[in-house]
Amino acid sequence: MLARSWCEVAPEDSTWDVLYADVAWIHEHLQYKNGARMSDHQRVNHFANHYELTRKDLMAKNLNRARRQAAKKHGKEAADAFDIVPETYVLPNEALMMKRAFRERGGLWIMKPIGRAQGRGIFVVNKISQITRWLAERAKCDGENVCVDNYVAQRYIANPYCVGGRKFDMRLYVLVTSFRPLTAYLYREGFARFTASRYTCDKESIHDQMVHLTNHAVQKKDANYDAEKCDLRWSVRSLRQYIAAKHGVHASDEVIVKITTMIVNSLLSVVPIIIHDKHRFEMYGYDVMLDEGLRPWLIEVNASPSMSVDSKTDYELKSALFHDVLNVIDMEKQFVDGTETPRARVGGFDLIHHDGVVIEQNLSLLGGLNDDREHVLAQDRLCVGNTRFDHRNETSCV
């Protein structure tokens, strides 16, 4: 910011141009109603009811609504486009439905508190008695007037795509500058976050977070974690290279097309309900997981993705990311061309949807293999502990 000749002003100073803060601060200090108390040029980094997408229970509800409406208007194929999250129930309200699904189809289920982040409060269950016991304990606490989180129970993706035996998810960055019309960009420099331990769904590992949770805040607590030597992360470009080497370039490209479509459909599911405001924009942190069939699943959407850094690579990514966010919203009017059409590419951001049209960029998205832009995060190998995995195969090397 300082390099761009910007300066920080006090919160009470009304001359600010961009306010970038987490949702809690903004809810407490800023009026949300239709840009109240803001000048025409001022921009804030959250939409008023962003939680329709970023709260786990509301995201599932809105996707279910979009799926029903698509089925009614256009049939099953259109409805399937919104089938992008694992089967989800909100507890305790939908406990009976969740138990019925458990009895009918069994499997592993992952329990997530609605209002927390960074893996806090998450656990995995494989017996209905565990659900019954948890509900009873929660009801007891609630009866004592203790503040108790609601949870979502999701069918666990028990067949994740693994690299070197390790489970991972992807953190992708999506910038929405408008919901009327929907205008969305996808950042090319996302990354995959790996677990410290090899994946297994054996009952002995059911409570081992190092096996089941890919959250970096959890995994960096591993005794062998060293961000400078091995931060358990891969660039998306490296992941694409790995998938292309193992399954072919077409399969790698198809994954990106599916992920882009999934992101657009998740945004479309909340277009009818998001309070649009010309003063608002939002950078979302999308968490996406692949199953062994290379099908992407949307795990959650974060309203305030972490901008803290713990390694040189992390610093390079997030500095460039924030720089490009400022370029897209263009407060300095560097890119004014007299039209209302957004630019197709701004730094690391690619336009993926505008005014009802999905932008066909496909192969250059998310670190395209033929993209000539410098990828500062591209790495040849993933290291876990003292083992490194070449992205061209799964042969371990020291």
- Flag the least confident range among 32-41, 66-75, 247-256, 257-266: 32-41
- Report the CATH number of the 162-397 domain: 3.30.470.20
Q: What would the two tokens of residue 112 be?
A: 């997530």
3-state secondary structure of 58: helix
pLDDT band at 384 (very low <50, low <70, confident <90, very high): very low
Q: What would the two tokens of residue 363 be?
A: 């192969």
- 198-201 — which CB contacts under 8 Å span 24+ positions? 198/165, 198/166, 199/160, 199/162, 199/165, 199/166, 199/167, 201/108, 201/158
3-state secondary structure of 259: helix
- Flag the least confident range among 80-89, 213-222, 266-275, 288-297: 213-222
Q: Whose CA is closest to 287, among 184, 162, 375, 173?
A: 173
pLDDT band at 390 (very low <50, low <70, confident <90, very high): very low
Residue 372 has pLDDT above 50, yes or no: no
- Flag the least confident range among 14-23, 85-94, 112-121, 184-193: 112-121
Q: Is 172 exposed, middle or buried (0-12, 13-18, 19+ CB in 10 A)?
A: buried
Predicted pLDDT of residue 68: 96
Asked if residues 125 and 106 have their Cβ atoms less than 8 Å apart, the reply is no
pTM for the model stands at 0.86
Provide the CATH topology of domain 87-156: Dna Ligase; domain 1 (3.30.1490)
Digit-coded pLDDT (tens) for 306-323:
888 877 888 899 999 999
Residue tagged 């993705």 (tokens): 305
Distances in Å between the Cα of 123 and the Cα atoms of 128, 153, 208, 220 are 14, 10, 9, 18
- Tell me the domain boundaries of the chain: 87-156, 162-397
